Amino acid sequence: MLKLNEKVIFRRLPEETRHHLIILVDRDEKVSMCILNIIMLDALLLFLLLANGIKPFTIVALPPLILVNLWMFILFFKDMELHRNNLEFVLYKGFSFSTMSYCWFILSQKMYYSILGLNWLFIIFSVLFLVIVALGSFRYYLIKFSIHKQKKRAVPTWAVYLLAAGPAAGYMISQITLHFSESVINIFMSIVSLLAACLFSFIGAKFIHQFLFVKTNQNIIKNIGKGRK
């Protein structure tokens, strides 16, 4: 579904597909992404991960977080008039949002662990939930930006998410009802963090798909450039 027919006429592609193929990055977009990373990763997430001093969770989350910041610093000084740098920026955004998803997931596990201790059932449910959302999100973009839309009725993406959320949500709610104390707040925040991880996974899937989509259809993009000369 990533590869388009090389004989396809660009102007006849759906509008959203054309926009997905053309990458234009300006300084404002780089600054906006930089600010988002500083606020979301460096300030909010890092602060929450360092709170209460549960070091293993922080150590697990630090490597991708450091890599995102280093990559952001390098890209900030690159010339975005070059196509390869624009493509790299799209990949960076996909990795950045995926890192946010990963860190929010780690944070959800930390908050649950700080109150109820290690629970493998909760970890398994959380991992399965996040994986299903991530794969479902990528599949959604595969279908959305494909020329040949599926005409037969398929299960809507939101229905897949709902079915996936059912067991996990039921288990989490049952845990809340069993612990009517201050731990309810931490369990609630654990659920919110897991949902935030799913949200950023959905956003990250879009940019990862865009990177692969543009990379796979380089011939079509080169023909557009020739047509403009």
Report pLDDT for 94.
92
* 105 has pLDDT over 90: yes
CA distance linking residue 37 with residue 20, whole number of Å: 23
Report pLDDT for 97.
93
* 214 vs 153, residue with greater confidence: 214
What is the arithmetic mean of pLDDT over 118-142? 88
Say which DSSP state 51 is in: G
Of 48-57, 59-68, 75-84, 158-167, least confident by mean pLDDT is 158-167
* 189 vs 206, residue with greater confidence: 206
What tokens appear for 2 in the block?
A: 């990533």
Of 7-16, 47-56, 105-114, least confident by mean pLDDT is 7-16
What are the residue boundaries of the structural domains of the chain, listed by start? 16-228
Q: What share of the chain is helix, strand, coil (3-state, %, to 5)?
A: 80, 0, 20
* 65 has pLDDT over 80: yes
Q: Strand locations in 161-223, DSSP E?
A: none
Three-state helix/strand/coil letters over 145-194: CCCCCCCCCCCCHHHHHHHHHHHHHHHHHHHHHCCCCCHHHHHHHHHHHH
What tokens appear for 44 in the block?
A: 């909010």
Report pLDDT for 152.
44
* 159 has pLDDT over 50: no
pTM over 0.75: yes
